[in-house]
Structure 1
Amino acid sequence: MNGKEYQELAMRTNDGNANCRLRQAQVDNIEFDVGGIFNACLGLSGEVGEFNDMIKKWVFHEKELDIEHLKKECGDILWYIAMICHSLNWDMDEIMQMNIDKLKARYPEGFDVVKANNIENGDV
């Protein structure tokens, strides 16, 4: 198999309607900033990649870890999380509290390896 054959076979599972779906999402979810959501998701992926690349190079390439630069990348990640909340009209305080509530319910006495490896159905 060559690249052209692979592409043709793989694209059998792509119906080509992504643009239509994006336009429909903008109509259906008018209270959401669909462009902002899309921008934030792509930006978040990029920033997490930059953060992870610094960690990879520190551990596996034996490069000195620039803590101040790493903090700035963490701030960029947080910025995109804030943009997601803004674009979906969510209260970031509520999202943070929901996460803490979930962690407290999952690990009432603190982290537990057994509980971490046996998450209950419906626990997200």
Structure 2
Amino acid sequence: MDLNDYQQQANKTLAGNEHVLTNLSLGLASDSGQLIDLVQKYTFQGQDLDRDALMDRMGDVLWYLSQIALWADIPFDDVAKANLATLKARYPQQKR
């Protein structure tokens, strides 16, 4: 799936109000924390990794990121491309 297409389709579920960016940012922090909690339980508490829950949280984080980018009028494909350029510059020794 194209990331820009995802961004536009996901936007259909955004309930807008005057505090959209704040709501998106708080949701991102919350779901990121839930994702981290799953990893912590796996890593330090010996629990099985709940891959379904992990995928759900990653999907929610993806949704929040895509909507923050859309709010800022930034195509999500541009976010991904810029990140790959940053990684290439940061890790030039890595094989491509």
- TM bucket (normalised to shorter chain) is 0.7 to 0.9
Asked if the contact 1:37–1:88 (Cα under 8 Å) also holds between the matched residues in 2, the reply is no
1:60 is aligned to: 44
2:5 is aligned to: none
RMSD: 1.8
Per the normalisation by structure 2, the TM-score is: 0.74
Aligned-pair distance for 1:69? Answer: 1.2
Asked if the contact 1:47–1:76 (Cα under 8 Å) also holds between the matched residues in 2, the reply is yes
Does 1:85 pair with 2:85? no
Q: Deviations over 1:42-64 (max 9, x none)?
A: 00000010000111111222111
**Identity, % of aligned pairs?**
32
Alignment of 1:91-106 (within 5 A): 91-106=75-90
Equivalent pairs counted in the alignment come to 79
Q: Deviations over 1:14-62 (max 9, x none)?
A: xxxxxxxxxxxxxxxxxxx872211111000000100001111112221
Supply the distance in 1 between the matched residues of 2:18 and 2:78 (Cα, whole angstroms): 21
Structure 1: 5+ residue runs without aligned partners? 1-32, 112-124
Alignment of 1:8-27 (within 5 A): none
Greater Cα radius of gyration, structure 1 or 2? 1
Structure 1 counterpart of 2:64, one-letter code: Y
Aligned-pair distance for 1:109? Answer: 2.0
Aligned-pair distance for 1:72? Answer: 0.9
Structure 2: 5+ residue runs without aligned partners? 1-16
Supply the distance in 1 between the matched residues of 2:73 and 2:34 (Cα, whole angstroms): 27
Q: Which runs of 4+ in 1 moved over 4 A?
A: none
Residue among 17, 20, 27 paired with 1:36 = 20
